Amino acid sequence: MTGTTGRQVPEIPTRLPGSILAQIGNQLPCYITWTTSQTADLIRANLHRSPMYGGVIEGVGPRYCPSIEDKIVRFAEKERHQIFLEPEGIGTDEIYVNGLSTSLPYDVQVEVIRTVIGCEEAEILRPAYAVEYDFAPPTQLHSSLETKCCHNLFLAGQINGTSGYEEAAAQGLMAGINAARRVRGEPPVVLGRDQAYIGVLIDDLVTKGTTEPYRMFTSRAEYRLLLRQDNADFRLSTLGHQLGLLPDRVYRRFQAKREAVEKELLRLRENRVHGQTLAQVLKRPELGHGDLPGPSPSLDPEVVRQVEIAIKYEGYLQREQADVARFRSLEDRPIPSGFDYETLPGLRSEARQKLGAIRPGTVGQAARISGVTPSDISLVLVWLKRGSGVRGT
């Protein structure tokens, strides 16, 4: 069994002195261990007792965190599987076993855990279980997470076909914001794909739907260079403050940070040394902000990092921002709610069916629907320009 520790100073986009993250001090180590051949033999001998293999549970499980039964069956050539033993907290001896999810009966679970290296005398406090649940197809939702068929009803979490704590929390945040704004008679808040991973998640759900429990990954975002963990405050603080979610004191701290970054970028782009601006010198991969010649102001490490990223990745950032501008030209083009795809001449039957079922709110959203081609979008744009295609009410 191997011990492993976390980062002593976790990277936090904006350090908030009173936050839980800022109070992280000494951390407990987790441990890595492995299943054995006895584990595999025991599971194979009892597969018929698993609801997931006995036909009791028929739904598709989460692709990215399979049960131990799935691992043994799907990866039969593997002699062992990695397990993480994670302490539940400082004041308890309980250990969470990560990587050993199962639907096997309790008596088999006891035998299985005791075949894991280092767990030969383990006791189970709370057995594992599997649950199968229904969900509402998320293509039935607006981007605000309000249902299209039932006004004032907002859905969030697993009912929308997602899996994971963060995914559920993200939807709950946006559904709560928009439900409150609906009561106040205010327009909904919709985060863009270029603005936040929450925007990517919700757009994927309402535009593409899902056939299995949806998990959020960075690979799902087109604009990963803009959606960095270090610039979350730059992307979302102003909106959070406008919505009343970010306190004035925190927003003032962010404003000071932003002003410091802008001021330092201006200084580096205006001052020259040996015929080059300091910004050009800083583009060299082997140099950091502290290596620049001449006197430099005393800056917070977070400010320095933002300055270095802005300069060293300037070309890549500009290219991605140009992509966003092209994306926005379609995303900002609304499609009337009564747009009638059924009577649109020349539209392919697959596109007509999917556009009519999902009813995208913008041209950009329509373009991301599976089965809708660029020529279909061109046709929709032509009829939008003509002002035609809107069903009478």
- pLDDT at position 2: 87
**CA 351/CA 369 separation, integer angstroms:** 9
CATH architecture group of domain 248-320: Orthogonal Bundle (1.10)
pLDDT on residue 390: 55
Question: Given pLDDT bands bounded at 50, 70 and 90, which one contains residue 330?
Answer: confident
Query: Residue 109: how many CB atoms within 10 A of its CB?
Result: 20
d(CA 375, CA 389): 17
Averaged pLDDT for residues 21-45: 86
- CATH of segment(s) 325-386: 1.10.150.570
* Confidence at residue 16, expressed as pLDDT on a 0 to 100 scale: 63
All residues at 6 or more sequence positions from 360 whose CB lies less than 8 Å from its CB, including other chains: 207, 335, 366, 369
Residue 148 is predicted with a pLDDT of 94
pLDDT of residue 45: 95
Q: How far apart are the C-alpha atoms of 92 and 326, rounded to whole Å?
A: 53
Is the per-residue pLDDT at 8 higher than 70?
Answer: no
CA separation for the pair 109, 277 (Å, rounded) = 65
Residues of the chain with CATH 1.10.10.1800: 248-320
Q: What's the pLDDT tens digit per position in 268-304?
A: 999 999 999 999 999 999 999 999 998 888 999 999 9
The residues of the chain that CATH labels 2.40.30.260 are 2-113
Average pLDDT, the chain: 90
Q: Is the pLDDT of residue 256 over 80?
A: yes
- Give yes or no for residue 174 having a pLDDT over 50: yes
Residue 167 has pLDDT above 70, yes or no: yes
Burial 304-325 (b: 16+ CB within 10 A, else e): bbbbbbbbbeeeeeeebeeebe
Least confident of 21-25, 117-121, 142-146, 226-230: 21-25
Write out the DSSP string of 12-39: -SS--TTSTGGG--S-PPEEEEE--HHH
Q: How far apart are CA 240 and CA 218, in angstroms?
A: 22
**Residue limits of CATH 1.10.150.570 in the chain:** 325-386
What number is the average pLDDT over the span 149-156? 96
- Least confident segment among 11-25, 164-178, 251-265: 11-25
Nearest Cα to 132, choosing from 69, 68, 201, 51?
Answer: 51
Q: What is the pLDDT of residues 194-212, one digit of tens each?
A: 999 999 999 999 999 988 8
Question: d(Cα 28, Cα 5) in Å, to the nearest integer?
Answer: 7
- Read off the pLDDT band of 102 (50, 70, 90): very high
Range from 27-31, 49-53, 238-242 carrying the lowest mean pLDDT: 49-53
- Domain with residues 2-113, CATH architecture: Beta Barrel (2.40)
> Taking the model in full, what pTM does it have?
0.84
Tens digit of each residue's pLDDT (9 = 90 or more) over 37-83 = 999 999 999 999 988 777 766 666 777 788 999 999 999 999 999 99
Supply the pLDDT for residue 341: 93
Q: Which pLDDT band, with edges at 50, 70 and 90, does 251 fall under?
A: very high
User: What pLDDT does 90 receive?
Assistant: 84
Q: Is the pLDDT of residue 4 over 90?
A: no
pLDDT for 392 equals: 45
Q: Which letter does DSSP use for residue 290 in this model? A: G
Checking if the pLDDT of 393 tops 70, the result is no
Helix (H) or strand (E) holding 382: helix 374-386
Sign of the CA dihedral running 359, 360, 363, 366: negative
pLDDT exceeds cutoff 80 at 12: no
Which contacts of 240-247 are long-range, i.e. CB under 8 A and separated by 24 or more positions? Answer: 243/177, 243/189, 245/177
Distance CA 50, CA 263 (A): 62
